[in-house]
Structures are given as structure tokens and as C-alpha cells.
Chain A
Amino acid sequence: MSATTSVEKRGLLAGYDFLDSAVDAIHGLKKAGFKEIMAYVPYPEHHIEAALGYGQSPVRVFTLVGGLTGAATGLALTTWTSAYWPLVVGGKPIIGIPAYIVITFELAVLFGALATLIGLGINAHIPDFKPRVAYDPEFSAGRYGLFVEVPADRVDEAKRILEAQEPAELRVGEEAAHA
């Protein structure tokens, strides 16, 4: 659309004191065709999540696979070790499935939980120790932040949209290398 073919991008960081301002700004940006929007929220806020349009989190697949792996491991461990060295204990069958349910269940939970943690790390990029320019300590207190990456020639347009919702602060970055 623009005359230049450069893909140079600039970042804009806005902080809002009100939830509806932030949500309206997201809607405005999306309407104008800006896609690379990131929001900072001090607590899980589903209005913002809805405005940005999120689908299902793939973390659930990790939980499921982890849980099933754990259950299979538990059952395999107990039956295989009993069969490997068959020893009658208390007159019970060598492989006593009801007794092994406990181990199966516990390992399902253990593996499921650890896999969930791994899934979260992979999907949410945690841990992440790279220093970030586009952040404000207020974002963990009471302010909603928006960071948007825009082509260099559309900075003013994006700035107008962000300013329309009266941000408490607005920063325009030189470049968005550390987004």
C-alpha cells in the first residue's frame, strides 16, 4: 500500500489506566489492520484475551499426553517388575492389577503435571531472560499495556488510534528489535 517497500518496523507502547480504554484501543488497532499487538495485563483478564481473539491453548495436549504416558508407565512398571521376578506375596496373584491402580494413578498425575509445566514453558516462552525495552513496571501493578509493531510509515496512524483512548503513557520506539 505504501510507496516504500521497506519492512522496517517500529514499536509503540501505550499504558492505559482503564480496562475499556485498552480493549477499545485493541479493537481500533485491529480494525485498522494492525496485527502484531501484544497486551500486558496485571492479572488474567478475559476481556483483553477475547479482544485479541485467542483459540484453544495447546497446553491441554501436553497435559493429556503427559497423563497418558504416566499411566502407561505406572502400569508397565508394576506389571513388568512383578513378572520379571515372580514372587507370590500374601497369596495374591503375581500381577494384581487393583493394587497397581494406585501407582498408575499417581504417575499419571505426576507426568501430567510435569508435562503441563513443559507445555506452558514452550507455549508461553517461559523462562525468558532477554532484556526487554517494551515494558513498564506499572504493568504488574494496575496499568494495562499495549505494544504494537507497525511499519515505519504507519506510525502516526497507530499513534492516533492509541491516543484516542487517552493513554497514561505512550512511547514510540526507534526500532522494535526487542519486542
Chain B
Amino acid sequence: MATATTERGALTHPDVERLSDVNTDILKILSRPGKGWWALFLLAAAGVGVFFTSWVIQLVRGIGVSGLNDPVGWGVYITCFVFWVGIAHSGTLISAILFLFRAPWRQAVYRTAEAMTVFAVMTAGLFPLIHLGRMWHGYWLFPYPNSRFLWPNFKSPLIWDVFAVTTYFTVSATFFFLGTIPDIAAARDGATGLRKRFYQVISLGWRGTDRQWHHFGKAYIFLAALATPLVLSVHSVVSWDFAMAIVPGWHATIFAPYFVAGAIYSGVAMVITLIVPMRKVWGLEKYVTTKHIDALAKLCLLTSLIVLYSYLCEFFLAWYSGGVIERASFWNRLFGPYWWATWTMLTCNGLVPIMLWFKRVRHSIPALWVISIFVNIGMWFERYVIIVTSLHHEYEPFAWGMYRPSHVEVGILVGSFAWFGFWFLLFTRILPPVAIAELKEVLPPPLRKIRKPAEEAHA
């Protein structure tokens, strides 16, 4: 018996006894929401109100209500766009890349991460439209046969971005939904009444037959294999929105890997921010164990080092290049009028995560949660620094200028978090927030006979 217990300790989820426990524990989350959920949901709904009110004000009165003007034509909106696309990235990393690498800890957190991806891209996708001002011309971004057969400029990174983000949203939503189908079927089998009808429809008649699983498994692998280069391409393309321009502070070859690492970094931090309260409120400690949280923290630490290295590289190369403009631009970042944004970025993204080297910090859930918030803030400021400090201080001194976000922009910024939270909260009530079927894959299968290893090999 002693050996059996030690063996259980080596499992990813030692406290989950039976396969059906997973259904019981996860599906109960979908039952009646508590007061806390309603409070958060109403708060999020109010925030969504702020979001759309601000947007309507801008639509009615024009883009002039924002702080955008020469020389800073990109501000909070594009910052938010890059931030939210970045948040999305770790979801695909955890669901697709770690799936291909067979990381044994992804099962517990991947559904949350993937839902976060979908909602983050949904949020990000609004920002180019908001930023357009006259959003009713938004369809000009897409190639369509217009009366003069004029097409978009396919050499422009902005058009690449349209394709990258649209593809990313479609593929990540597909991937998310596909992975959820077996769990919706599980929810259907446990539900009654109207809820059952609803799950019956969206489970698409999934019954978990051998034939369904066989093709499902293959489809899932191929989608993961497609999503993996896709996720790397999306933030590279986003980085080229900047790097393709000759603005000092933007025009750097390091941008694509630097942005991808930053995206994964911010996304992992957001996963920690979301999963810690979920784990606590719904008592998911059996499923999301300290091992899982530790793995997330290590991923966060790794990406923080890449990001910090990229920062140092940027500053070093600005000095080493000898370019007067480039040097001035980076000097201005550190000690110019936006010094506070730069130092927030460096502190939150570079210094604070150093604490993650210590196991005690990684295993302290409150500490980790606070660090993850710091990283979220830091990563938002990183994009703000890249965009605003570079634009406000370009080449000619007479063209320098300052940018200050207006109330409308702040309303939309705050509202975007509410919009994201709104969808995420709905998700936790409608779809199983932990992957039921995939968790069972890493549980030991129930066996009637205890077999010898040799027999097992022949079976």
C-alpha cells in the first residue's frame, strides 16, 4: 500500500481518485452562481457601459475627443490593441505549443488560458476600429472587389495585421470550441431542462465514440500544429507595424522575437491573475495544484528574462550604434518627460519578477498573484512606452510634442478590461472552465486486474 501512495504522489493530480470525480467537481461550478460572481458581473457590465458610452461619444463628436494629434497619432488605443493581442498569446502557447511538447501540466490550466485567448482577441479586435475614428469605413481594410478594383496595399504591415489577427481569432476560437465539445457533452449529460437543451445543441451530438475520438485526436493535433507557427507569426506581424517604420525606437530587427516573448510573458501573468481566484473560489486545489502554479511561474520567469534581455539589448544597441537620433530617443525614454512610464515598465517587468527565482515565492499563491498584477501593469506600460515615447520625440525638434490620453480614451481603456471580464465571467458559468476530458487523460485509468509490466506490454 505504501508503494501505491508514493506512486500517487508522483501523479499530476494525486488527490483526484476517480474519473467521474472530475465531472462532479468541475460541473458544479456551472450551477447557481454566488453573490460574488453577480457582484463582479454587474461591475463588469457597468464597465462595458462605460466602454460603449465612451466609444459612442467619440463616434458622435469625432476622433478629436481623443488626445491623438500630431506628432503622436497612435496612443492608448494602439497600446491596448497590442496589449490585448499579447494577452491572447499565452493561451495558444499553453493549449497548442505545450500540447505538442506533451507538457504534463497544461491540462489543468489550458481551458482558462484558451478562453482568455479568445476573449482577449475579441477585445483587441475592437481597438483598430475604435482607432479608425470613422469606423464605418472599417471594411476598407479587407480586400473586396470595389467598383474600381482598387486593392489594399499588401506590402503594408497594417494589412498583414488584418490578416494575422482575423486568422488568429478564427483559428483560436475554432480550437477553443473544438476542445470544449467533449466537455459540453459531459455538461449536457449532467444537466436538466433548458440547460440540457442548450448543451445538446452546442455539443453537436458528441457521444465520445471511438470513431469520434479517433478523428478528433487527429484534428486537434493538426490544429495545434497550425496554431503554433500562427501564434508566433501574429505578434511578429504586430511588431512589424512598428519595426517596418523608420521611427527611432521602432526600427529594430529584434522587435519580432521581443514582442512574441513579451506577449507570452503578459499572457502567462494574466493566466495567473485569473486562475488564482478561480482556484480559490471554486476549490479547484485538487486540479490546479501548486505544481501547476509553479510551472506557470517558471514560464513567467523565463519570459521575463527574455524581455529584460531585449530591453537591455535595445538600450545597448542604441548607444553602440552611434546613431545620434537613436541615442537621443532612448535617452529620452529613460529621462525624458515620459520617464515615469519607462521606469514603471522596467520595474514591473524586469525587477519584480526576479523574486520568482525563489521557490518560496513561486509557492506562495498571494505573492504570485500580486507579481502577476505587476507584470500586467508593466506590460501595458511597455507598449505605451514603445508607442508614445517614440512618436513624441522623432527627428526634428520642431515636430516634437506631447500626448495626454483624454477622458474618452481612459474610459475605453478601463472599459476594455470590463468587456474582457464580462465575457470571461459568462464563460465560467456556461462552459466547463477546466478541461474535463483532457484531465482524465493524465489520471491513471481504473483497472480491475493489477498486471505485471510484461503482461501490460503485450496487452
Contact = CB atoms under 8 A, between A and B. Distances in A.
Interface of A: 17-21, 23, 38-45, 47-49, 52, 54, 57, 59-60, 63, 67, 77-78, 81-82, 84-85, 89-90, 92, 96, 99-100, 102-103, 105-107, 109-110, 112-114, 116-117, 119-120, 123-130, 132, 135, 137-143, 165-166
A106 B167 contact: yes
Contact of A114 (B143, B170, B182): B170
Interface string B138-181: 00000100000111011100011001101100110011001001
Interface in B180-233: 181-182, 185-186, 188-190, 200-201, 204-219, 222-223, 226-227, 229-230, 233
Contacts of A41: 208-210, 213
Nearest to B445: A19
Contacts of B164: 102, 106
B67 to A, nearest CB: 30
A109 B171 contact: yes
B189 A124 contact: no
A110 B23 contact: no
A140 B233 contact: no
Given A43-B437, A81-B143, A141-B20, A120 B215 contact: yes
Contacts of B61: none
B23 A49 contact: no
A117 B182 CA distance: 15
A105 B233 contact: yes
B292 interface: no
Contact of A140 (B171, B189, B215): B189
A165 B441 CA distance: 23
Given A18-B446, A20-B448, A59-B219, A120 B207 contact: no
Contact of A20 (B175, B200, B213, B449): B449
Contacts of A127: 204-205
Contacts of A17: 446, 448
Contacts of A67: 226
A103 B154 contact: yes
Contacts of B217: 44, 57
A142 B18 contact: yes
A114 B18 contact: no
Contacts of B23: 140-142
A116 B447 CA distance: 34
B447 A110 contact: no
A54 B212 CA distance: 12
B108 to A, nearest CB: 14
Contacts of B214: 49, 54, 57, 124
A113 B233 CA distance: 15
A119 B216 CA distance: 10
Contact of A142 (B163, B190, B446): B446
B454 interface: no
Given A19-B445, A132-B207, A142-B23, A116 B229 contact: no
Given A82-B154, A116-B223, A107 B167 contact: yes
Contact of B167 (A110, A119, A142): A110
Contacts of B159: 103
Given A81-B154, A137-B190, A142-B19, A120 B178 contact: yes
Contact of B186 (A109, A113, A141): A141
Contacts of B189: 137-141
A89 B451 CA distance: 71
Contacts of B21: 142
Contacts of A99: 154-155, 160
B230 A109 contact: yes
Interface string B431-459: 00000011111000111110100000001
B205 to A, nearest CB: 4
A124 B437 contact: no
Contact of B218 (A57, A135, A142): A57
Interface in B67-91: none
B155 A89 contact: yes
B213 A45 contact: yes
Interface in B402-447: 437-441, 445-447
B115 interface: no
A85 B216 contact: no
Interface in B221-277: 222-223, 226-227, 229-230, 233, 237
B223 A113 contact: yes
Contact of A40 (B154, B160, B209): B209
Contact of B209 (A39, A59, A143): A39
B171 A110 contact: yes
24 contacts: A18-B447, A19-B447, A20-B449, A20-B451, A38-B211, A40-B207, A42-B437, A45-B213, A78-B154, A103-B163, A106-B160, A109-B233, A110-B167, A116-B219, A117-B219, A119-B219, A120-B178, A120-B216, A132-B207, A138-B20, A138-B189, A140-B182, A141-B23, A141-B186
A110 to B, nearest CB: 4
The 10 closest A-B pairs by CB, nearest first: A142-B19, A142-B20, A137-B189, A127-B204, A81-B151, A128-B205, A43-B440, A57-B218, A120-B219, A18-B448
B30 to A, nearest CB: 14
Nearest to A39: B210
Contacts of B175: 113
B213 A110 contact: no
